[in-house]
Structure 1
Amino acid sequence: MSVGTVTAGARLKKPSWKDPRLVVGILLVLASMAGVISLLGAADQTMEAYAARESIAVGEQLTEDKLHRVKVRLGDLEQRYLTPEAGLAGGLVAVQRIGKDQLVPRDSLGEPDLLDRKPVAVTIDEVLPGQAVAGSRVDVWVALPDARNGFSPPTLLLPGAEIAQITAGSTALGSARSTVVLVLVSDSQMPQLLGAQANKAKISVVWNPGGPSR
């Protein structure tokens, strides 16, 4: 047998389980598979959370029929949102507006006596721009009646008030249709607005794209 034949036979020799290179190779394959399985498991770590079926206005009581369940990945943010696992306590109301299909933040809920803003209906005759919708901000101007059966110059009563809801008001024969705007009013501002309404003041609502005043 020649030296070349011996060398070729050595190269074609079946590897032994005692070969450290084979053991290392198997360990590397197993480690790679474990890493892939771990990544797939982490990517599928979804959970159920509550989202609003329709928009929920400030002051509206929250019940399960107004919510639906969605699969989301919250991770470390889980404690910030309402989940079926944690449950929904009774008697809670929205202290912030919750949009349709929006996840429900825990800090948007509270007891009714914690509400610092309450919706007040303001009836206007002017047409609001399309941007003035629930959740947007408006300025409320008031012109009080004067001694000459007219009105005094308007003053800004509520800067950057949030709209809770807009609905079409009733219309009298031959008159233009009015609009009822529910604006959120703080307790400190409430007497001025209610006083203006009681004194038959002319109230105007102007869309405020800048939002609430700082």
Structure 2
Amino acid sequence: MPRWLDPKLILGILLVLGSMAAGARILSDNNRTVEVWALKADLAADANIAETSLVATSVRFTSKTNADQYVSAAKFPNGARMLRKVNKGEFLPRNAFTTEEDKSNLVDLPIPIAAQFIPAGVAVNKRVDVYVVPDESKAVPKDGFKVLEDVVVTSVPREAGLTGSNDSKVTLRFGVDPEKIDIDTVVSKLVTGTAVVVLRVGK
């Protein structure tokens, strides 16, 4: 029998070819990347996702399961809003936002406020509390009272906290729960004194 017909030789050749094919597949899988959305800035709960909020990033995941946890950059999540906070630089998780209609009675409330009463760290999607110091007060801290708690900033003056302008305003977004917030009362209190924004650090 010719040597090249030796079953052991044929089996050895098949094993070598199989190993080469498996190695090539592993290398191919390791070099395969996908594009997912990453955050260009912090996004707080209730914040809308704008095109300027995300950037497409190429990533090499170790498994399809890991890749499926994040949103592919092949399609932008139009009309989406955040369900929880995600930080700048993180990939956008599929379970961190929704495109369903919001039924939480959210309102946007513009608050006239002097820029010197807006902390420099206040920015869109940050969470803040709002206090009012009555006009007749001498602005002693104990005279102020809280009118809003843990609400989302949706717009802020460009020079917040850096100028002495008295015509600035901050727009806040929050849900109106009739059992917890009376919007008429909030507005009436805001016009009776000086509003002060307190930044919730880390939120």
1:164 matched to 2:157? The reply is no
**Cα 1:80–1:201 shift into 2, 3 Å:** same
Aligned-partner Cα distance in 1 for 2:14–2:36: 40
User: Quick check: 1:38 aligned with 2:25?
Assistant: yes
Structure 1 residue 139 corresponds to structure 2 residue 152: no
Q: 1:116 to 1:83 in 2, by over 3 A?
A: farther
Aligned partner (choices 203, 209, 214) of residue 195 of structure 2: 203
C-alpha separation between the residues in 1 aligned to 2:53 and 2:121? 25
Q: Percent identity among equivalent residues? A: 21
Name the TM-score, length of structure 1 as normaliser: 0.60
Distance in 1, Cα, partners of 2:5 & 2:114: 90
Checking the alignment, whether the CA contact within 8 Å between 1:59 and 1:118 is kept in structure 2 is no
Q: Distance in 2 between matches of 1:150 and 1:135?
A: 31
> Is structure 2 residue 164 aligned with structure 1 residue 176?
yes
Q: Secondary structure at the match of 1:177?
A: coil
| Mapped partners of 1:194, 1:19: distance in 2 | 93
Contact 2:40–2:89, Cα closer than 8 Å, also in 1: yes
Cα distance, 1:132 vs structure 2: 3.1
Distance (Å, rounded) in 1 between the aligned partners of 2:40 and 2:89 = 6
Q: Relative to 1, partners in 2 of residues 1:59 and 1:132: Cα closer, same or farther, differing over 3 Å?
A: closer
Task: Quote the Cα distance in structure 2 between the aligned partners of 1:67 and 1:163.
Answer: 18
Deviations 1:71-110 (A, max 9, x none): 44562243652553xx5686x2434578777655555242
One-letter amino acid of the structure 2 residue matched with residue 139 of structure 1: D
SS, match of residue 126 in structure 1: helix
SS at structure 1 position matched to 2:3: coil
* Separation in 2, partners of 1:98, 1:190: 30
Task: Return the alpha-carbon distance in structure 2 between the equivalents of residues 94 and 142 of structure 1.
Answer: 29
Larger radius of gyration: 1
Q: Pick closer, same or farther for the CA change 1:44–1:210 going to 2, 3 Å.
A: closer
Partners of 1:210 and 1:89 in 2: CA distance: 26
CA deviations 1:4-53 (Å, max 9, x no partner) are: xxxxxxxxxxx922444433432332122121122123224433445678
CA distance in 2, matches of 1:54, 1:210: 14
Cα gap change, 1:89/1:155 in structure 2, threshold over 3 Å: closer, same or farther? closer
1:59–1:115 contact (8 Å) kept in structure 2: no
Q: Residue type matched to 2:189 in 1?
A: A
Encode CA deviations 1:142-173: one digit per residue, 9 max, x unaligned. 2345xxx4478212233333333321479xxx
TM-score by length of 2: 0.62
Residues 69, 207 of structure 1: CA spacing in aligned structure 2 closer, same or farther, 3 A cutoff? closer
Q: Distance in 2 between matches of 1:59 and 1:119?
A: 12
Structure 2 residue ranges without an equivalent (≥5): none
CA–CA separation in structure 2 for the residues paired with 1:209 and 1:187: 23
The alignment yields a C-alpha RMSD, in angstroms, of: 4.1
Query: Is residue 182 of structure 2 the alignment partner of residue 193 of structure 1?
Result: no
Deviation at 1:115, TM superposition (A): 5.5
Give unpaired runs (5+ residues) of structure 1. Answer: 1-14
